[in-house]
């Protein structure tokens, strides 16, 4: 039998995961297929040490450390090892900075991952551990419980913040939607599938694919170049074909 560090890595059932999660190898394959991925401190993912509200767990992903690597960042994919629905979102920064903040549902304490692909095709992984009270994926949201979701479905709120992060303009958007996971009896999966920010010339500034674990009424923060742009619109759709289309003041 071979011995030494190489043999140890090959025999490691966690795939070398620094958090020691047995679920990591299957999560990696589900998220990026057979592609190789290396753990990197350049991918920063932050969450609370303990999530008091498992239906609204705040996360920040920052891959600016890879901006000068491999041609820059092409994709950011976020996934949760121990969620019943593990995939959270896929972000293409395009003209935005490779970072975003948002909230998710968590069913139990789990590692949370950010898989970042640079333009050369290489994948880099950042991880954090979030303790959670549990059950965030298997109970209805507040607007589903009280029935008010249908009155606000698809409404958009958007606001720019200047001089928050040097060299960028912060855009925070909220889209009203119940984001049902499909794991509550009698309530099928119903969630926003895609969003993108488009300018008046038809150029896409960022593109986002969402999955069921994103929290109800998604509140998402982006960092854009500092110059103001006119004619910006937030467009998208949910998995039932309902359209989202709203002007975003630039």
The pLDDT, as a whole number, for residue 176 is 98
pLDDT at 18: 95
Read off the CATH number of the domain in which 118 is found: 2.60.40.2470
Cα separation, 247 vs 235, whole angstroms: 9
Q: Supply the mean pLDDT for the chain.
A: 93
Q: Which residue has the tokens 């949910």?
A: 238
Whole-number pLDDT of residue 133: 82
Instruction: Establish if 65 belongs to a structural domain.
Output: yes
Which runs of consecutive H residues, i.e. helices, occur in the chain?
5-11, 24-32, 142-146, 149-152
Q: How much of the chain, in percent, has pLDDT values that exceed 70?
A: 96
Domain count, the chain: 1
Residue 218 domain flag: yes
Beta strand 57-62 with 192-198: parallel, antiparallel or unpaired? unpaired
Question: What secondary structure does DSSP assign to 201-237, as a single string?
Answer: TS-EEEEEEE-TTBPSS-EEEEEE-SS--SS-EEEEE
47 within some domain: yes
By the 8 A CB rule, do 104 and 214 touch? yes
**Chain segment 49-89, per-residue pLDDT in tens:** 999 999 999 999 999 999 999 999 999 999 999 999 999 99
**Residue 224 lies inside a defined structural domain of this protein:** yes
The enclosing H or E element of 149 equals helix 149-152
According to the model, what pLDDT value does residue 164 have? 85
136-140, 142-146, 163-167, 188-192, range with the lowest pLDDT: 163-167
pLDDT tens digits, residue range 168-202? 999 999 999 999 999 999 999 999 999 999 999 99
DSSP structure class, residue 65: G
Domain annotation covers residue 1: no
Dig out the tokens for 179 from the structure: 């984001």
Positive or negative: CA dihedral 13, 14, 18, 21? negative
Cβ atoms 232, 247 nearer than 8 A: yes
Residue linked to tokens 């009896």: 185
Question: In this structure, is residue 109 part of a structural domain?
Answer: yes
pLDDT (0 to 100) of residue 10: 57
Q: How confident is the model at residue 247 (pLDDT cuts 50, 70, 90)?
A: very high
Residue 156 reports pLDDT greater than 70:
yes
Residue 167 located in a structural domain: yes
Domain membership of residue 9 (yes or no) is no
Q: Residue 24 is part of which domain span?
A: 15-247
């Amino acid at each position: 039998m071979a011995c030494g560090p190489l043999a140890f890595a090959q025999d490691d059932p966690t795939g070398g995961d620094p958090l020691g999660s047995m679920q990591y190898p299957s999560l990696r394959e589900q998220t990026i297929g057979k592609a190789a991925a290396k753990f990197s401190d350049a991918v920063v993912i932050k969450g609370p040490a303990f999530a008091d509200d498992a239906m609204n767990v705040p996360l920040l992903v920052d891959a600016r450390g890879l901006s000068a690597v491999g041609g820059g960042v092409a994709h950011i994919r976020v996934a949760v090892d121990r969620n019943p629905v593990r995939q959270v979102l896929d972000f293409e920064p395009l003209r935005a900075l490779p970072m975003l903040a948002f909230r998710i549902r968590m069913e139990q304490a789990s590692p949370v991952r950010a898989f970042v692909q640079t333009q050369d095709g290489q994948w880099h992984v950042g991880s954090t551990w979030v303790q959670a009270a549990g059950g965030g994926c298997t109970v209805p949201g507040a607007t589903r419980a009280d029935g008010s979701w249908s009155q606000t479905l698809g409404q958009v709120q958007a606001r720019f913040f200047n001089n928050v992060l040097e060299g960028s303009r912060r855009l925070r958007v909220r889209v009203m939607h119940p984001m049902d996971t499909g794991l509550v009896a009698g309530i099928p999966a119903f969630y926003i599938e895609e969003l993108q920010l488009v300018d008046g010339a038809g150029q896409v500034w960022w593109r986002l694919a969402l999955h069921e674990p994103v929290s109800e009424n998604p509140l998402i923060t982006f960092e854009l170049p500092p110059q103001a742009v006119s004619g910006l619109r937030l467009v998208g759709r949910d998995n039932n074909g309902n359209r989202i289309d709203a002007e975003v003041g630039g």
